[in-house]
Structures are given as structure tokens and as C-alpha cells.
Amino acid sequence: MKFSVTVSTADLLNRLKENRANHIAKYDEAMAGYRKKAAEWLRRRATRIEAGETTNIYMTLDQEPPELHAGEYDTVIEMLEMGIVDMIILTHEDAVKLLSDRWQWSPAFSSSCSSYAILSSASE
């Protein structure tokens, strides 16, 4: 789809900062779950080692830790803050990322966060 829209730079900047803050909050929650899962794995492994079991120490969790993408937000925010225009033209692809907060990495990030966020809120 070839489509573009002119938006207020200030409004876009505010939206990006809000999206960035939400991204970091989701990441922090997911990392808490990841750390909890890793710590539990290590406790179980340590118990088995202390009991005399010969075991491979290689740690494998079901998936990779969540990735923080704040730098991508920071780059666009910095560009907008350094810019000298009050309005900016966004292509459809730009709008999907910057307004709708749907980046190329969003599906994997959401999946990772969903998996680990459950663990971070579970009681110990």
C-alpha cells in the first residue's frame, strides 16, 4: 500500500516516548520471569549435583531471554528532537512502526514477554 500521512512532530514524539516506556515495562516484567525461571533451573540442577548426580551443566531454557529494543525508539526520538520541522510525513510502513508500535521484532517480543511475564507475577 502506497500511503503517507503528515503528523505533528510533537505528537509523534509523545507517542514514541509512551511506546518506549511501555516496551521497557513489558521487558522488565518479562526479564523478572526469565530470571525466576533461570534461578529455579539452577536450584534444581544444583540439588542434583549436590546429590552426586553427574550432569551436564549446559543451561537450556525453553526460549531466549526477552530482548530490549529501547535503542530503536531512542534513535527515532533523537532524530525527531534534533529535527527542525513541526510536521513530518510518515509512510504506511513508518506509521505501522511509529504510531501502531508494530515493529518487525514485535511478534517475537510479545511471545517472549507473554511466556515470562506469567512467571514474574507467580508467587515464589
Residue 123 predicted with pLDDT over 70: no
Q: What's residue 92's pLDDT?
A: 94
3-state helix, strand, coil in the chain (%, to 5): 65, 10, 30
Instruction: Quick: pLDDT tens for 56-87.
Output: 666 566 567 889 999 999 999 999 999 999 99
Three-class secondary structure of residue 90 per DSSP: strand
124, 43 contact by CB (below 8 A)? no
- Closest by alpha carbon to 5, among 113, 15, 112, 18? 15
Compute the distance between CA of residue 39 and CA of residue 48 in angstroms, rounded to an integer: 14
- pTM of full prediction above 0.95: no
Q: What's residue 124's pLDDT?
A: 45
In single-letter form, the type of residue at position 73 comes to Y
